[in-house]
């Protein structure tokens, strides 16, 4: 499958206004997503919010089927939530850690996740341990296997870290987790919508994702995958009348499936937009999407490396669409501001977002760019010229 660039750019209103390389922050939504959100909000204003949701019932049900098709799982293993942080937290805080339990994670783990590790460690006495990286910068799978014992209660890893092109070896980690019988939580915030994700091939038990990044969905949308076999081993950290039923004065029953990790109130228009975005990506093909993203990222890295004083900071054996760099004599904030004046959107990643990895590499901050399939080769050349 190939990407029809002219059609896709025509489908993306923002392409007429900016060179958008902040897709690892929030991507430009395609017109069908924009239209679906606005149409539902308009319907809510005309007939009422509950009534509009009733009309969209069948489409909302299809959202679970679309997400399941994309991840190769069952619809009842999907929960739709407000964002990736809520999805990840609902999974992580459902574990009942005890003193001495071990949580294994990666050096390039995201700050929100690591803060949660530290909080639970302080509360429960669980131990947080970091698996060393190998020479390429990715999690060292052999070292992970050597660290496994009967006190390891969770392996939790970010698939694509926020601060560079690294893609951690998710499936190899999954094979270690399955062989040891250890639950495996994968943060797919930056990989969802960028590359194919098959939870059976990966071997994860839980996966969290956002809609706003490479999936090109609305902000305020996310999802959680929970393997059926894990459902009865976990209780969500909080429940409401959507996640559970009050069946007697002193008793409740959780609803079947992963929807016990949801709550009642949600942004219905955004959910419908997420479903549209997932179907849009599926129709294009995740292999085609990832192939084009990697091609554009490779062009960008090559162009940056040719500029005197620029150092590309990406690591890992497999590198994705996130590209980071520094330039001698220029602060990242100044580079971002200069590019913004030329209608080029980039962002900055600081040590506070990925502290262990950034400190290990002696980095305080980097300029971060995330290419997407709707970016053009001319845009990549324009960005490199501007930085030069």
Length of the chain: 388
Q: Are 206 and 227 in contact (CB under 8 A)?
A: yes
Q: How far apart are CA 182 and CA 285, in angstroms?
A: 32
Residue 49's CB is within 10 A of a number of other CB atoms, namely 14
Mean pLDDT score, 130-140: 97
For residue 167, give the 3-state DSSP assignment. coil
- pLDDT of 223 over the 90 cut: yes
Q: Is the pLDDT confidence value at 383 over 90?
A: yes
Mean pLDDT of 99-123: 98
Q: Which of 240, 214, 153 is nearest to 21 (CA)?
A: 214
- CATH fit for domain 33-283, picks 3.50.7.10, 3.40.50.670, 3.30.930.10, 3.40.640.10: 3.40.640.10
CATH class of 5-29+285-387: alpha beta
Res. 2: pLDDT tops 90: no
Q: Give the whole-angstrom CA distance, residue 270 versus residue 207.
A: 20
**Per-residue model confidence as pLDDT tens digits over 145-177:** 999 999 999 999 999 999 999 999 999 999 999
Averaged pLDDT score across all residues of the chain: 97
pTM, to two decimals: 0.97
The predicted model gives 102-122 an average pLDDT of 98
Domain boundaries, the chain: 5-29+285-387, 33-283
289-332 per-position pLDDT tens digit: 999 999 999 999 999 999 999 999 999 999 999 999 999 999 99
pLDDT of residue 70: 98
What pLDDT is recorded for position 1? 64
386 phi and psi angles, rounded to 5 deg: -65, -40
Q: Which residue, among 91, 107, 62, 85, has the nearest Cα to 275 in the 3D structure?
A: 62
């Amino acid at each position: 499958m190939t990407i029809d660039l002219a059609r896709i750019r025509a489908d993306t209103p923002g392409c007429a206004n900016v060179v958008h390389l902040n897709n690892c922050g929030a991507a430009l939504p395609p017109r069908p997503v924009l239209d679906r959100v606005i149409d539902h909000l308009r319907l809510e204003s005309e007939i009422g919010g509950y009534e509009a949701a009733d009309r969209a019932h069948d489409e909302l049900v299809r959202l679970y089927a679309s997400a399941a098709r994309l991840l190769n799982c069952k619809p009842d293993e999907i929960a739709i939530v407000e964002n990736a942080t809520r999805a990840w937290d609902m999974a992580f805080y459902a574990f009942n850690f005890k003193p001495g339990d071990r949580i294994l994670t990666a050096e390039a783990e995201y700050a929100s996740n690591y803060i949660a590790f530290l909080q639970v460690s302080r509360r429960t006495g669980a131990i947080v341990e970091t698996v060393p990286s190998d020479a390429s910068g990715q999690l060292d799978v052999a070292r992970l296997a050597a660290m496994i014992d009967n006190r390891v209660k969770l392996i939790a890893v970010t698939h694509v870290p926020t601060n560079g092109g690294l893609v951690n070896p998710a499936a190899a980690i999954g094979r270690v987790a399955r062989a040891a019988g250890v639950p495996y939580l994968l943060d797919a915030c930056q990989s969802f919508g960028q590359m194919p994700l098959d939870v059976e091939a990966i071997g994860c038990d839980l996966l969290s994702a956002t809609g706003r990044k490479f999936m090109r969905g609305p902000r305020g949308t996310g999802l959680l995958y929970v393997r059926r076999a894990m459902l009865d081993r976990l209780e969500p950290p909080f429940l409401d009348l959507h996640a559970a039923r009050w069946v007697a004065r002193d008793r409740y029953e959780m609803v079947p499936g992963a929807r016990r990790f949801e709550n009642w109130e949600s942004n219905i228009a955004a959910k419908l937009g997420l479903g549209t975005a997932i179907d849009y990506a599926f129709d294009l093909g995740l292999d085609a999407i990832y192939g084009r993203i990697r091609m554009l990222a490779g062009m960008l890295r090559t162009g940056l490396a040719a500029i005197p004083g620029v150092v590309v900071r990406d690591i890992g054996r497999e590198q994705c669409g996130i590209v980071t760099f520094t330039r001698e004599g220029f602060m990242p904030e100044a580079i971002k501001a200069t590019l913004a004046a030329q209608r080029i959107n980039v962002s900055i990643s600081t040590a506070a977002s990925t502290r262990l990895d950034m400190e290990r590499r002696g980095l305080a901050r980097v300029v971060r760019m995330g290419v997407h399939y709707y970016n053009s080769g001319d845009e990549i050349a324009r960005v490199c010229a501007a930085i030069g």
